[in-house]
Structure 1
Amino acid sequence: MRALSSPQQMTAVVQAAAAAGINHLETAPAYGPAEDFLGTALAQVRNSGGEPDGGWVITSKILPGCSLEDGQRQLHGILGRLGLTRLDNLAVHGINRPEHLDWALDGDGAAILQWAVASGTVGQIGFSSHGDDALIDKAIRSGLFGFCSLHLHLLDPQRLPLARLALDQGMGVMAISPADKGGRLQAPSTTLREDCHPFQPLALAYRFLLAHGISTLTLGAAHPKDLELAQALRAADDPLSRQEAQAIEQLEQQRHGRLGPDQCHQCRACLPCPAGVPIPDLLRLRNLAIGHDLMAFAQERYNLIGRAGHWWEQDNASACNRCEACLPRCPHSLPIPDLLADTHQRLQAAPRRRLWG
């Protein structure tokens, strides 16, 4: 979704992916001209004999909520743009709310997905989600899906139990943007570099996920050089080395040292908030801003709140009315209303446009 300056840029990235040992390409109609460019790139790579051994695995997505007729039309459009007669993987793009899962399980979505597989148009069905843990858990346990794409990050590992649940059920698991949405690790702060020493933050993040059995990492490559680290780690799915484990422990210790008793431990015991404030998610951004000097990333994510529809939270820390319902629930006795006020003061900034949407 990032190599979109021209079809030539996309082709260069796809060629570099094949050379790096990558065989899985994931896209979506929502990503501007991505599918058109990718279709051109696939044809050029095929004609030059540069496809990976065994061919490509291609994933695309449809947004929830469409009718059966529209869903069929969308899928035929995907195939046409990509120059394919069959799609390996079709994902529901963003099961972020309960009604999205209802659509997939019992509504028109169920008819679309059943038709897609029964007709041989699609190999398997999956989903991506930016939703809450309970919703993702329900989707995984539904038995409908063969794979899922989740936010799984070194600096935000709370969904790893959901990934393990999916893996235990034989599902494929893809980590959504462990680089950019994982903390903009492709351009880390000096502090984070020092905290991860002797490893690059992004290399440590990739190894953390691979060692947990995550089957696919999305890389978001805009240029061939963005795939160099992937090529270096192409067979690096063994358990963490002692040195890597020590670096992760060091990372956590440094974060705790800077935050002290005000660190939010992400236990989520403070929820539900009567005012609807997503307390742990907001305090996680505070943790990253103070704990690793990831201020630019934290501000970017904070200022998407209320501006990205169902893809991100709706209420920021200013919605806290100091009712103090959260205080007796917190096992660490955090002054949550004060920390939320501090979060808002630190992170509020001019809004930025989301890459998509």
Structure 2
Amino acid sequence: MPPERRPLGSGPGISLFTLGTMRATGSPEQMLEVLEAALDAGINHVETAPSYGPAEACLGQALDRIATSRPGDRAELVLTSKILPGASLESGQAQLFGSLQRLGVHRLDNLAVHGLNRPEHLAWALEGEGARLLEWALAQGLVGQLGFSSHGSTPLIEQALASGRFSFCSLHLHLFDQERVPLAQRALAGGIGVLAISPADKGGRLYDPPPELIADCAPLEPLRLAYRYLLAKGISSLTLGAERRQDLELAGQLKSAAGPLDNQELHALRHLEASGQSRLGAERCGQCRACLPCPSGVPIPELLRLRNLALGHGMETFASERYNLIGRAGHWWEALDASACHSCGACLPRCPHGLEIPALLADTHRRLAAAPRRRLWG
């Protein structure tokens, strides 16, 4: 069966999976191996960024080799790169020309604002120097369409999608974090392409699942179930940050698996939900967000989501890793952890489940706080 292709905004159709290049940066040879594996898996969309260290340069050399060895596949590749918000017109122009040079191309299919996470980032793209830069890039034919990636709030993402500036977006959409899935489906219905950011890694380290999670998803592997959940929701493409050929094997198996969930998958999802509820009991946070806003600015639902994963599915390693990044990743992640809770009690009457939220937050901090870790990039 030929690989499925889905529309991405106004651009060329893309594969159900996207090769992300932030991990295959050890050498041009590593990038070439991963790119060839992606092509073998039916992938025709590659995303990169200047912020990913030598990724663009390594990819450019790999593309040059592919153009000779597999010219038909090279002709079908769709390329996306990114630019950080905040640059002046002149600086942004230089950055874009630098990306084109490193990649060895005259035009990008897609250019995304990398990390549209704060209101000032959106203002830059819509009204400031960024607006001039993006309009210039389109007018010069240097990019085919514009998009953005965001780790920001749902209201901010809604504003960006409603602005008319962007034809596609990259969002955190995961089986274990479904908050923005309805938003993504509305964007898709309006013709805006949607990429899921790192559903394997940021979605729960699902390439290395704990025993509890394996049992909860049986007979399916957790990563397969997570991929199928998103594909069945109509998400344009799922990004995979591969380091080696083996990382793309499952994507190859699912390259045409865009249909609705089957009975086995639906049963696995119900069993997953029931298992988490059983382990957490009355302490399970339902993620309704009625507890917000917190007077101290604590992101209560996100912190209790991590607790749900740690206690409900044995995902302590992932939950601790994410929790430990809070306050250490700038505008890419939450700023306050559970230690910022002052037990004021404002959230208590709002919770429809009657959760003792301050006590649960304190327990979350005791369980998940750890020594600082370095981010992969940035």
TM-score with structure 1 setting the length: 0.99
Q: Select the residue among 195, 210, 228 that pairs with 1:207.
A: 228
Q: Select the residue among 284, 302, 308 that pairs with 1:287.
A: 308
Corresponding residue number in structure 2 for 1:161: 182
C-alpha deviation, 1:49, in angstroms? 2.0
C-alpha deviation, 1:229, in angstroms? 0.3
Corresponding residue number in structure 1 for 2:374: 353
Task: Provide, for residues 202-235 of structure 1, a one-character-per-residue CA deviation record: whole Å limited to 9, x for no partner.
Answer: 0010000000000110011100111100000000
Corresponding residue number in structure 2 for 1:45: 66
Corresponding residue number in structure 2 for 1:256: 277
SS of residue in 1 equivalent to 2:374: coil
Corresponding residue number in structure 2 for 1:137: 158
Corresponding residue number in structure 1 for 2:115: 94
C-alpha deviation, 1:243, in angstroms? 0.9
Corresponding residue number in structure 1 for 2:266: 245
Answer yes or no: is 1:172 the counterpart of 2:193. yes
C-alpha deviation, 1:191, in angstroms? 0.7
Corresponding residue number in structure 2 for 1:220: 241
SS of residue in 1 equivalent to 2:320: helix
C-alpha deviation, 1:54, in angstroms? 4.9
- For 1:233 and 1:52, the matched residues in 2 are separated by 19
Whether the 8 Å contact between 2:63 and 2:74 is mirrored in structure 1 is no
List gaps (5 residues or longer) in structure 1: none
Q: Select the residue among 347, 356, 359 that pairs with 1:338.
A: 359
C-alpha deviation, 1:52, in angstroms? 2.3
- For 1:49 and 1:262, the matched residues in 2 are separated by 55
One-letter code of the match for 2:371?
A: A
Task: Provide, for residues 257-286 of structure 1, a one-character-per-residue CA deviation record: whole Å limited to 9, x for no partner.
Answer: 001111111111111101010000000000
One-letter code of the match for 1:307?
A: R
Corresponding residue number in structure 2 for 1:117: 138
**Where in structure 2 are the equivalents of 1:263-278 lying within 5 Å?**
263-278=284-299
Answer yes or no: is 1:229 the counterpart of 2:255. no
- For 1:322 and 1:50, the matched residues in 2 are separated by 62
Corresponding residue number in structure 2 for 1:306: 327
SS of residue in 1 equivalent to 2:73: coil
Runs of 4+ in 1 over 3 A off after TM superposition: none
One-letter code of the match for 2:137?
A: A
One-letter code of the match for 1:79?
A: L
Corresponding residue number in structure 2 for 1:148: 169
Whether the 8 Å contact between 1:304 and 1:312 is mirrored in structure 2 is yes
- Paired residues in the alignment total 357
C-alpha deviation, 1:81, in angstroms? 0.3
Answer yes or no: is 1:59 the counterpart of 2:55. no
Whether the 8 Å contact between 2:110 and 2:145 is mirrored in structure 1 is yes
SS of residue in 2 equivalent to 1:219: strand
C-alpha deviation, 1:53, in angstroms? 7.4
Whether the 8 Å contact between 1:86 and 1:121 is mirrored in structure 2 is yes
- For 1:146 and 1:253, the matched residues in 2 are separated by 38
Whether the 8 Å contact between 1:308 and 1:354 is mirrored in structure 2 is yes
List gaps (5 residues or longer) in structure 2: 1-21
Corresponding residue number in structure 2 for 1:68: 89
Greater relative contact order (CA < 8 Å, ≥ 6 in sequence)? 2
TM-score with structure 2 setting the length: 0.93
C-alpha deviation, 1:169, in angstroms? 1.1
One-letter code of the match for 1:341?
A: A
C-alpha deviation, 1:50, in angstroms? 5.1
One-letter code of the match for 2:230?
A: L
Answer yes or no: is 1:105 the counterpart of 2:141. no
Task: Provide, for residues 124-155 of structure 1, a one-character-per-residue CA deviation record: whole Å limited to 9, x for no partner.
Answer: 00000000110011111111100000000011
Corresponding residue number in structure 2 for 1:329: 350
**Where in structure 2 are the equivalents of 1:189-208 lying within 5 Å?**
189-208=210-229
Whether the 8 Å contact between 1:18 and 1:50 is mirrored in structure 2 is no
Indicate the percent of aligned positions where both proteins have the same amino acid. 65
C-alpha deviation, 1:295, in angstroms? 0.6
SS of residue in 2 equivalent to 1:52: helix
Q: Select the residue among 313, 317, 321 that pairs with 2:338.
A: 317
